[in-house]
Amino acid sequence: MSTERYDICVLSFNSATGEIVTEAAGNVSDRVGRPVDSGPIGLVDPDCRAICLHLYTGFLKCIPIDDNGGLKEAFNIR
């Protein structure tokens, strides 16, 4: 889930307790770049290896996911 201010969180549902659990949270904004005209787009790899976000014109932000489901350091691709 993401917000207009580029805050993100990864949520899961615990069926045993019936609660929503926040797995990870952070901010993915950058100091440079122009926000995309069509609005942000987010994709998750079908094998859950990465999350890719198109937030700024000319940049693709990738957030790798480790084998345990944790998020690694995000990086930009031009």
Model pLDDT, residue 39: 87
For the chain, first and last CA: distance in Å?
A: 23
Rounded CA separation 41/53 (Å): 6
Domain ranges of the chain: 7-77
Model pLDDT, residue 61: 95
| pTM for this prediction | 0.81
Q: Which residues, given as ranges, of the chain have pLDDT below 50?
A: none
Model pLDDT, residue 4: 86
**Helix (H) / strand (E) containing 22:** strand 19-27
Which amino acid belongs to residue 60? L
Residue 22 CA, distance from chain mean position: 13
Model pLDDT, residue 32: 83
